[in-house]
Amino acid sequence: MKNTYLITGIAIISILSVIALLAPWISPYDPAMIAQDSLLIPPSAKHWMGTDSLGRDLLSRIIYGCRISLIIGVIAVGIAVFLGVILGSLSGFYGRFMDTLIMRFADIMLCFPTFFLILAVVAFLEPSIINIMVIIGLTSWMGPARLIRSEILSLKEREFIQAEKAIGASSARIIMRHLIPNAIGPVLVNATLGIAGAILLETGLSFLGLGVQPPIPSWGNILIEAKSTLGIAWWITVFPGLAILVTILGFNFIAEGLKKIIG
């Protein structure tokens, strides 16, 4: 039986990835090019998605914004998964004091709403792509950590792990070679959903002026520019919104498909 969700999600994200990679070649205009004679032009043959209040081609800006959003989402979640897998593995394997220390720290982090925690940190730092990726990653590791911990608590009592201990295998070898590969499934599902969440977080931060800063185009700062022209230029809101919607759906479909495979 075909996994329709997984196939659809991979198709969507593959297309978006190709668009992001080929942005300099497929973008019809320079996304930062200001044209005073092309202000707020609706979608047409010359500008397929219209122009903004500075005469910049909206399609070009959305194409480059796709690159920014995917980079931030993937790297931020990569940081979160790396930290979560390491801390969750240590917590689940060693237990006792190590487990208590790491899980209580995770509980403390979970007490704070992630978005407001990120806002508080960003307020003290210079808004930049690197800072956004690192901050999202450092505030999102708790989910992967708890997932892999619960899997390892079950796996470490299995016969093949006990056999490894009996022949004198080191803790590092057991964790890296046997426990993590067998426990990583639920983390991959969580990571896929996490990428969608990270893209939404970046969009929200950019919309508030604390994310990716102009002139670098991102879907969030395109939307903030649309606020002043919402009543007269619908396309500046609709097309970036659709881009965000399609991307989030793509990652959610992949996550749903992976759930079916993992069971």
In-domain check, residue 35: no
For residues 38 and 29, give the distance between their C-alpha atoms in angstroms, rounded to a whole number.
13
For residue 78, tell me if it sits in a domain.
yes
Flag whether 72 is in a domain. yes
The answer to whether position 16 is within a domain reads yes
pTM above 0.95, yes or no: no
Q: Is 32 contained in some domain?
A: no
- Tell me the C-alpha distance between 263 and 259, whole Å: 6
Name the residue range of residue 212's domain: 4-27+55-262
Domain with residue 174: its CATH number is 1.10.3720.10
Q: In a 3-state reduction of DSSP, which class is residue 176?
A: helix
Phi, psi of 51 (to 5 degrees): -130, 165
Q: Write the pLDDT tens digit of every residue in 3-62.
A: 889 999 999 999 999 999 999 999 999 998 888 888 889 999 999 999 998 889 999 999
Q: Is residue 48 part of a domain?
A: no
Q: How many domains does the chain have?
A: 1
Domain-located, residue 126: yes
